[in-house]
Amino acid sequence: MQQATETAPTIQPPVAAPAQPGELTKDTYKGKIHPDWCPGCGDFSVLSALQTALFELGLKPHQVAVVSGIGCSSNLPGFINTYGMHTLHGRGLAVGSGLKLANHELKVICTGGDGDGYGIGGNHFLHIMRRNIDLTYIVMDNQIYGLTTGQVSPTSVKGMKTKTTPHGSVENPINPLPLAMVGGATYVARAFSGKQKHMVEIIKGAIQHKGFALVDVFSPCVTYNKDNTYQWFNPRVKILEEQGHDPTNFHKAMDKAYMWGDEIPIGLVWKRTDLPSLEELEPVLHDGSGPLAYRKLGIPEDQAKELVQELL
Amino acid sequence: MATVDFAIGIGGEAGQGIATPGDILARIFARRGLHLNAYNAYQSIIRGGHTFLTIRASDEPVTNMGDKLDVLIPLNQDAMDRHLRLLRSGACVIFDAEKLKPGEHAEGVQLCPMPMKQLCGTNKLGGNTVAIAATLQMIGIEFEPLEQVLTRQFKKKGDAVITENVNMARAGYEYAATNFKPFPVKAPRGAKPLGVVTGNQAVALGGAAAGVKFYAAYPMSPSTGVLMWMAAHARQLGIMVRQVEDEIGVMNMVIGAAHAGCRAMCATSGGGFALMTEAIGMAGMIEVPVVCVDVQRAGPATGVPTKTEQGDLWQVLGAAQGDFPKIIVAPSSQIDLFKTMPELFNLVDKYQCPGLVLADLLISEGTSSVDPDELNFNVKIDRGEIIFPTTSGNGETKNPFGGCNDNAYLRYKNTESGISPRAVPGVPGHIHVAATDEHDEDGTLISDEFTNPTKRRMMVEKRARKMETVLSRIPAPKLFGPENAQVTLVGWGSTEGVIREAIAKLAGDEGIVANHLHIKWIVPFHVDEVNRILGRAKHVIIVENNQSGQFARYLRSETGFNAHGHIRKYDGEPFMPHHIVNAVKEQLEGKAQLSVPAHEILV
């Protein structure tokens, strides 16, 4: 028996050399297409913050993959110059998980909206957290379904009138932060499109964090959500980093995560670094042969013999 | 002709240990070089109910459970009552003399009561071991192979358990030698020792041979065996194996891994496949090669989880909305499953599309002997036009951060073949977005500019064009048997073996000359060749395991051909050769155009 033949050449794992000074500018991350969001949409701020974060971290565009679901905010991968996937409604995290596990040297950033992530994709959200896969999830939470022109979302507040709740929503919204904390996320933060500089730091922290990081961003929908506007958020949001909040204290973090009303905290709510990521726990990734995606295929003769032997 | 062809049935309730004696017998036969097929009829319960394992062995290849039982081993009265009446002259029943009463039986059936209490003492499951020892004695197999297999089987439980079982077995063997009449022909030895494999193992082995590096699944009978094999071998073979929250997550994860550059696959059954279908459309749209195995079970909905059916054909044909290329194949046996996986991976890599495998409970959970030399892991691996970080394009690019924003690389280039070179994430200078929205050659969503009918048409046609050359790369179906037969039987997937055996019986016992057209590759379909063959056929009967004639309807839609008759079975149990023989006779006599054979065994 011979070694399996392979027509594709043997692949060497890419060397992730650090960016040279001047090699990257913020414009490097600019996508080909100008965003098709409504003027004033909070998502512009998130895109810009993400581009700044990538630039400041010196990450080369081809070493980053931005994976989204479907929705207004999920159009983001088309507007940023990195590898991208624009998947199915609610499936960004599942596809992103597969991508990350197959090439754990890529920086994978999943983006999407509240309906995409907390509604139709809710099951993947729950399970990626307990797995602690090392990727960053940025949710542009506008508390409304925008692309379908204004229906109630899982984070719409009780009483909110939308096209599908004309008499006001009678359901309670999801609060993604406590959910993420008990779900096992190891970096849980909130940002606001009106505080872009702060958001850059939050996203940088999320990307650098080894494990699953959730950044829930208040990203107002200026067209369909007339309740939770910039004007509504501006006086309410309070930056946790300015308040001396200790993100490693679970109970205090939980108190902050639940706050809503006149004062709404933004910033890093909860973080733990004592849990390994799935990639660190998975022995298959640690035999020194680089990402799974680049490995040579085929079963060597000695292994083939063992497999056949089991059947005899 | 086969020197011997005998079948042993072991029946009892779940939890009585039916599987272990089945495994022991299969190992002994295969090591002796005998071919075998084992089929377990069971129910979706962990304890109780009725489970019936049929293991058939011969010195010729065995593809199905056959028509008769030679040895019945009932472990409870229920199994005795259900099966004894079906035994014919020459068969025997081996049972616990103190616990079970034989009841009515045909003349010439040998009753073999055994004093189990005396032979086994307090060991409650010992009766199984004693009964198989008696069976082996009566079919002329020496005691040593049983001793060896028992030693291997109980290795983990320690020497005391091994000794106890070997002693019980020896007592049973000797008791049979003294008290029962052996079978007239002794089991011969085959040319070389054979292995034993289930279809689920074969799928996993085939995937491993193809170079699968990522396997994800959600447990679902009857496909779970693939996941368990993969999990058990993951670390040894360097395969990432994940049990995912649901089948939606499974397929999406597999697509993510495949997009990264892995060969990635999953297996499920019809219900799980239903959850995967939207994502299968994504694989079609973003042109990512993935393989998914649908191990069909009796549907719809939860259906009969432990019973077989060929009822998912139209589900798989129609998987996902819209038009896009996909390749669908229905292997016919365990070894065929093994060999098909690397072939299919080469095709989906070349054509950058999903590949779907239609298996079913019968072959996937069913066990077959296998010639170890047929398990060739030295398979051709052709990844098609794929660009990895250090292959072509890398280093020569002027802008390592280009692709997406400078058109240096067009992921969905509108080529003549429809196949566009595929760069995986991480390659400098080839940045692009893989989007499920309709997109332009560079990956830009056409809805992000203007929804442009010309571009839309161009991209639909680019993807569709890929299918034009697939057909030349898959073998056309061939007619088996004499060209000018009275009747042509058409089947697909797992029925190949049983139809062939029915044809031999028709020729031998009934003087009816039949031939067989078996279809393995479903999409694309060899329309011209099938039309040519069926156009010459005198009387065409389609045989399939479903109620509505799913394949008959597909054949008609592709070829315009209307069959003369149909044999369909949808009671959860597989065809036995005589079901087909009797139905063909009935139809040739003009008594019916649709035959639905009754399954005589109540399992």
Domain at A26-311, CATH class: alpha beta
- Mean per-residue pLDDT, B88-112: 97
Q: Give the integer Cα–Cα distance in Å for B187 and A67.
A: 61
Collect all residues of chain A within an 8 Å Cβ-Cβ radius of residue B202.
none
- Mean per-residue pLDDT, B408-422: 97
- Mean per-residue pLDDT, B416-436: 96
Domain boundaries defined on chain A: 26-311
pLDDT band at B405 (very low <50, low <70, confident <90, very high): confident
pLDDT in tens, B475-493: 999 999 999 999 999 999 9
Tokens at A177, concatenated: 């932060």
pLDDT in tens, B279-323: 999 999 999 999 999 999 999 999 999 999 999 999 999 999 999
Q: So what's the pLDDT on residue B19?
A: 79
Q: Is A149 on the interface with B (CB under 8 A)?
A: no
- Mean per-residue pLDDT, B357-368: 98
Q: So what's the pLDDT on residue B391?
A: 56
Q: Residue B237 domain-assigned?
A: yes
- Is residue B358 located within the same domain as residue B395? no
Supply the ipTM of this predicted assembly: 0.95
Q: Do B405 and A3 touch (CB under 8 A)?
A: no
Q: Residue B68 domain-assigned?
A: yes
- Is residue B202 located within the same domain as residue B155? no
Residue B566 has pLDDT above 50, yes or no: yes
More confident residue, A296 or B450: A296
Of B210, B391, B405, the CB nearest to A30: B405
Collect all residues of chain B within an 8 Å Cβ-Cβ radius of residue A31.
404-405
Collect all residues of chain A within an 8 Å Cβ-Cβ radius of residue B256.
67, 85, 94-102
Question: Taking Cα atoms as reference points, which of A286, A139, A273 lies closest to residue A209?
Answer: A273
Counting Cα atoms < 13 Å in the Cβ hemisphere of A70 gives 16
Q: Residue B184 domain-assigned?
A: no
CA distances from A281 to A127, B179, B240, B294 (A): 16, 60, 12, 30
Q: So what's the pLDDT on residue A4?
A: 43
Q: Do A4 and B253 touch (CB under 8 A)?
A: no
Q: Say what percent of chain A tops pLDDT 90.
A: 91
pLDDT in tens, B223-246: 999 999 999 999 999 999 999 999
How far B456 CA lies from chain A's nearest CA (Å)? Answer: 17
For chain B, give the longest Cα–Cα distance. Answer: 89
How far B40 CA lies from chain A's nearest CA (Å)? Answer: 19
Q: Give the integer Cα–Cα distance in Å for A28 and B158.
A: 66
Q: Do B433 and A84 touch (CB under 8 A)?
A: yes
Kindly write down the DSSP assignment for every residue of A215-257, as one continuous string. EEEE---TTT-SSS-HHHHTTTEEEGGGTT--TT-HHHHHHHH
More confident residue, B349 or B391: B349
Q: In sequence order, what E strands does B235-353 have?
A: 240-243, 263-268, 290-296, 327-329
Q: So what's the pLDDT on residue A21?
A: 78
Q: So what's the pLDDT on residue B449?
A: 66
Q: Give the integer Cα–Cα distance in Å for B334 and A195.
A: 61
A124 with A201: CB under 8 angstroms?
Answer: no
Q: Do B433 and A289 touch (CB under 8 A)?
A: no
- Is residue B165 located within the same domain as residue B116? yes
Question: Taking Cα atoms as reference points, which of B297, B300, B295 lies closest to residue B330?
Answer: B295
- Is residue B487 located within the same domain as residue B353? no
- Is residue B453 located within the same domain as residue B337? no
Tokens at B328, concatenated: 């669908």
Q: Say what percent of chain B tops pLDDT 90.
A: 89
Question: Taking Cα atoms as reference points, which of B469, B438, B153 lies closest to residue B325?
Answer: B469
Show the domain range for B391. Answer: 385-474
- Is residue B462 located within the same domain as residue B505? no
- Mean per-residue pLDDT, A46-66: 97
* Residue to test with chain B: of A30, A59, A88, most B Cβ within 10 A: A88
Q: Name the helix (H) or strand (E) containing B518.
A: strand B514-519
A218 with A237: CB under 8 angstroms?
Answer: yes
Q: Residue B189 domain-assigned?
A: no
- Is residue B93 located within the same domain as residue B59? yes
Q: So what's the pLDDT on residue A249?
A: 98
A53 with A27: CB under 8 angstroms?
Answer: no
For position B134, which CATH number holds?
3.40.920.10
How far B542 CA lies from chain A's nearest CA (Å)? Answer: 35
Q: How would you class A259 by CB atoms within 10 Å of its CB: exposed for 0-12, middle for 13-18, buried for 19 or more?
A: middle
For position B211, which CATH number holds?
3.40.50.970
- Is residue B11 located within the same domain as residue B87? yes
Number of domains, chain B: 4
Q: Residue B67 domain-assigned?
A: yes
Tokens at A171, concatenated: 């359901």
Question: Taking Cα atoms as reference points, which of B570, B532, B543, B559 lies closest to residue B487?
Answer: B543
Least confident of A12-26, A149-163, B88-102, B120-134: A12-26
Q: Do B240 and A297 touch (CB under 8 A)?
A: no
- Mean per-residue pLDDT, B103-109: 96
- Mean per-residue pLDDT, B542-553: 98
Q: Residue B191 domain-assigned?
A: no
Q: Residue B400 domain-assigned?
A: yes
Residue A66 has pLDDT above 80, yes or no: yes
Size of interface A-B (CB pairs under 8 A): 276
- Is residue B411 located within the same domain as residue B279? no
Peptide bond into A235 cis (omega under 30): no
Residue A290 has pLDDT above 80, yes or no: yes
pLDDT band at A11 (very low <50, low <70, confident <90, very high): very low
Residue B396 has pLDDT above 90, yes or no: no
- Is residue B31 located within the same domain as residue B112? yes
Q: Do A311 and B370 touch (CB under 8 A)?
A: yes
Bridge-based pairing of strands B35-41 and B367-370 is antiparallel
* Torsion angle in degrees (nearest 10) through CA of B254, B242, B206, B500: -90
B291 with B265: CB under 8 angstroms?
Answer: yes
Q: So what's the pLDDT on residue A6?
A: 47
For position B553, which CATH number holds?
3.40.50.920
Of A86, A289, A308, the CB nearest to B436: A86
- Is residue B209 located within the same domain as residue B275? yes
Q: Which residues contact B174 (CB under 8 A, 6 or more apart)?
A: none
* Residue to test with chain A: of B380, B431, B441, B444, most A Cβ within 10 A: B431
Q: Is A19 on the interface with B (CB under 8 A)?
A: no
Residue B589 has pLDDT above 80, yes or no: yes
pLDDT in tens, B440-455: 999 999 876 677 899 9
Residue A7 has pLDDT above 50, yes or no: no
- Is residue B351 located within the same domain as residue B459? no
Please state the pTM of the whole predicted model: 0.96
Q: Residue B297 domain-assigned?
A: yes
